[in-house]
């Protein structure tokens, strides 16, 4: 099977129009935050942010498959001593546009730099908003299971009576838990909080993701051969990680220097053998493949 990396230059609002309807399995992106990083790649003022983003999210809704997921990494800034509300306003407007706001993950930045502010503490987390087109979507939960760890040793040893039977949800959701089911298991499902350090190793972009961030969501929401889109590509972290994980990817970037940089480094086409550890790469026009 072949995976591709399609790197495109331009404003994603326009370039997205070139992509087919229902063609992408996962959109994973971090757009410029309002008014931040003016000196590097420009910002949008907080009061214009929602209007700026909606034409992009309309196109994203069109290109995403019904079974697909859109994960938006964003965090509102502080202006005049107050948190802006544009992220909340954006969620409401995107729901009006037809998106379902399925979940919110938190990225806890483990290595957040020290500092002191008169009216708040260090900002150590960002949002990852999950949007879908429909209530049922592709999700490979077993791919992101975590070791049970010490929790099992402590909590599971002291099971209460309700823990030993199915404890019906107190909010009437119909879901319940029977904690004793988890005894003797080595792995558990993770929470919606991801603990990852920001990465200083990627010096190519002032706001690059740590690779572990797209990797975790690509694992959760796609399988090998699927297509991942990052419409605000930057240094291409999403695309490089997708390629390493045998997914096709599309990246869109407005600044020529980032576009050129990614285009030069990424392999445009790669042959993969599903369900083996061997990887094959094209050797150019002679059509032969080499085992890596
Ligand atoms: C927060 S950065 C993304 C960084 C990326 N996640 C990485 O790991 O390098 C946002 C990127 O979006 C680009 N950008 C801003 N407006 C854009 C637009 N309208 N269309 C496409 N790219 C845009 C910026 O130049 C910037 O590189």
Tell me how far the alpha carbon of residue 33 lies from the centroid of ligand 1, in angstroms.
10
Q: What is the mean pLDDT of the chain?
A: 86
Render pLDDT for 230-273 as a digit per residue (tens, 0 to 9): 999 999 999 999 999 999 999 999 999 999 999 999 999 999 88
Residue 228 has pLDDT above 60, yes or no: yes
Quote the pLDDT of residue 265.
97
Which range scores top for mean pLDDT: 118-127, 243-252, 282-291? 243-252
Ligand 1 residue neighbourhood (C-beta within 6 Å): 11-13, 30-32, 41, 205, 207-209, 232, 234-235, 237, 252-255, 258
Mean per-residue pLDDT for 78-96? 93
* Lookup result for tokens 């987390």: 125
Tell me how far the alpha carbon of residue 169 lies from the centroid of ligand 1, in angstroms.
42
Tell me how far the alpha carbon of residue 31 lies from the centroid of ligand 1, in angstroms.
6
Give the residue, by CA position, lying nearest to ligand 1 atom 19. 11
Quote the pLDDT of residue 277.
46
Render pLDDT for 203-227 as a digit per residue (tens, 0 to 9): 577 778 899 999 999 999 999 999 9
Quote the pLDDT of residue 168.
61
Residue 173 has pLDDT above 50, yes or no: yes
Structure tokens at 134: 């429909």
Q: Which residues pair with 101 in a beta bridge?
A: 131
| Residue 14 pLDDT class (50, 70, 90 cuts) | very high
Quote the pLDDT of residue 166.
65
Which residue from 12, 27, 31, 33 has its CB within 8 A of the most atoms of ligand 1, so it is best to mutate?
31
> In the chain, which ranges are E strands?
2-9, 24-29, 64-74, 78-79, 82-83, 100-109, 125-132, 146-147, 167-168, 176-177, 187-188, 193-196, 227-230, 248-253, 269-272, 279-282, 289-291
Residue 129 has pLDDT above 50, yes or no: yes
Which residue from 254, 259, 262, 263 has its CB within 8 A of the most atoms of ligand 1, so it is best to mutate?
254
Which positions ≥6 away from 140 have C-beta within 8 Å?
219, 220, 221, 222, 223
Give the residue, by CA position, lying nearest to ligand 1 atom 27. 234
Which range scores top for mean pLDDT: 39-48, 177-186, 240-249? 240-249
Using the atom order of ligand 1, give the atom closest to the CA of residue 33. Answer: 1
The whole-angstrom separation of Cα 158 and Cα 186 is 18
Tell me how far the alpha carbon of residue 30 lies from the centroid of ligand 1, in angstroms.
7
∠ CA 97-19-62, nearest 5°, is 20
Quote the pLDDT of residue 274.
67
Which residue from 234, 241, 257, 266 has its CB within 8 A of the most atoms of ligand 1, so it is best to mutate?
234
Q: Which domains, and CATH codes, for the chain?
A: 2-145+190-266 (3.40.50.150), 148-188 (no CATH)
């Amino acid at each position: 099977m072949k995976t591709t990396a399609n790197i495109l230059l331009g404003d994603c609002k326009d370039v997205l129009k070139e992509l087919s309807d229902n063609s992408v399995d996962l959109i994973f992106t971090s757009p410029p935050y309002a008014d931040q990083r003016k000196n590097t790649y420009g910002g949008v003022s907080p009061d214009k942010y929602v209007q700026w983003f909606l034409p992009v999210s309309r196109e994203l809704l069109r290109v995403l498959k019904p079974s697909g997921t859109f994960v938006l990494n964003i965090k509102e800034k502080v202006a005049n001593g107050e948190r802006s509300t544009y992220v909340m306003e954006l969620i409401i407007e995107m729901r009006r546009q037809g998106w379902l706001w399925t979940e919110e993950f938190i990225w806890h930045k483990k290595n957040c730099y020290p500092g002191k502010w008169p009216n708040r503490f260090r900002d150590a987390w960002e949002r990852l908003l999950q949007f879908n087109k429909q209530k049922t979507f592709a999700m490979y939960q077993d791919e992101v299971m975590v070791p049970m760890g010490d929790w099992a040793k402590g909590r599971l040893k002291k099971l209460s009576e309700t823990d030993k039977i199915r404890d019906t949800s107190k909010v009437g959701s119909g879901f319940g838990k029977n904690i004793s089911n988890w005894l003797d298991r080595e792995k558990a499902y993770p929470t919606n909080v991801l603990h990852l350090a920001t990465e200083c190793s990627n010096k190519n972009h002032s706001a690059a993701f740590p690779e572990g961030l797209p990797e975790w969501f690509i694992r959760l929401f796609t399988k090998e051969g699927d297509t991942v889109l990052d419409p605000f590509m930057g240094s291409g972290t999403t695309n490089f990680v997708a390629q390493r994980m045998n997914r096709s990817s599309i990246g869109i970037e407005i600044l020529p220097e980032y576009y050129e940089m990614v285009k030069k480094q990424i392999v445009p086409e790669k042959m993969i053998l599903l369900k083996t550890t061997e990887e094959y790469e094209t050797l150019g026009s002679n059509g032969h493949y080499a085992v890596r």
